[in-house]
Amino acid sequence: DAKTTQPTSMDCAEGRAANLPCNHSTISGNEYVYWYRQIHSQGPQYIIHGLKNNETNEMASLIITEDRKSSTLILPHATLRDTAVYYCIVRVANQGAQKLVFGQGTRLTINP
Amino acid sequence: EAGVAQSPRYKIIEKRQSVAFWCNPISGHATLYWYQQILGQGPKLLIQFQNNGVVDDSQLPKDRFSAERLKGVDSTLKIQPAKLEDSAVYLCASSSRDLPGNTIYFGEGSWLTVV
């Protein structure tokens, strides 16, 4: 079973920041938080991951709370092409070859 | 860098027929995964390989599904005989422990419709 809880759907206006929350209250000390997204008819696309520090890359920022029980993915300037299902997943990164366990994800719709 | 390659992209078959999907992972990635994604759901792991050995096949319906990765590089997933409920997208993914975060990368998927 997935170890994360996400809202089923969200809307955001084009050009604004999209903030996607994720709860992972049972996360273990060696589990990372990963975010993937899936645009219709495509395979899941890796976005970002982090352990306890905030992370930023060319796609997004990841904010993890100090107690690590929740996190927020931020798309700073959302475009129509960011419309997708976003998955938050917790996973041990460096111990063996750990699979990804997907939940239902958040369906994000960017509106013009 | 080339991504995970999968073929065919689309396949329509009748129930009780067989089908095979092929996957070529990213070069150098020792771990290969096959996921099944039914419409409206998140992907579900079917089988995971480490090189040419099976790590996890607990969710693979072994009476009809089989997968192999004989030389530790590309892989084939077969369904025989197919049922209507096998209609789904079959996603191949790969990863390497040598990369930061052991990130898993997915192919575009093979869409199967069983009629």
Contact criterion met (CB < 8 Å) for A98 and B33: no
Which pLDDT tens digit goes with each residue over B5-62?
999 999 999 999 999 999 999 999 999 999 999 999 999 999 999 998 999 999 999 9
Contact criterion met (CB < 8 Å) for A32 and B103: no
pLDDT at A96 over 90: no
Q: If you average pLDDT over every residue of chain A, what do you get?
A: 92
Interval A89-96 mean pLDDT: 73
Which pLDDT tens digit goes with each residue over B53-93?
999 999 999 999 999 998 889 999 999 999 999 999 999 99
Strand partners, A5: A23
Determine the distance in angstroms separating the CA of A3 from the nearest CA of chain B, rounded to an integer.
13
A 3-22 near B (Cβ less than 8 A):
none
Distance separating alpha carbons of residues A30 and A86, to the nearest angstrom: 23
Distance separating alpha carbons of residues A28 and A24, to the nearest angstrom: 9
DSSP A107: E
pLDDT given at position A94? 58
CA dist A39 → A59, B15, B22 (Å): 14, 29, 22
CA dihedral A31, A87, B39, B12 (to 10 degrees): -80
* Among B90, B105, B106, B113, the residue to mutate for chain A (most A Cβ within 10 A): B106
For A24-93, list the strands marked E by DSSP.
Answer: 31-38, 45-50, 55-56, 61-64, 70-75, 84-92
Contact criterion met (CB < 8 Å) for A97 and B106: no
Contact criterion met (CB < 8 Å) for B97 and A97: yes
Which pLDDT tens digit goes with each residue over A43-70?
999 999 999 989 999 999 999 999 999 9
Six-digit token string for B45: 């792991």
Contact criterion met (CB < 8 Å) for B102 and A97: yes
* Among B104, B108, B112, B113, the residue to mutate for chain A (most A Cβ within 10 A): B104
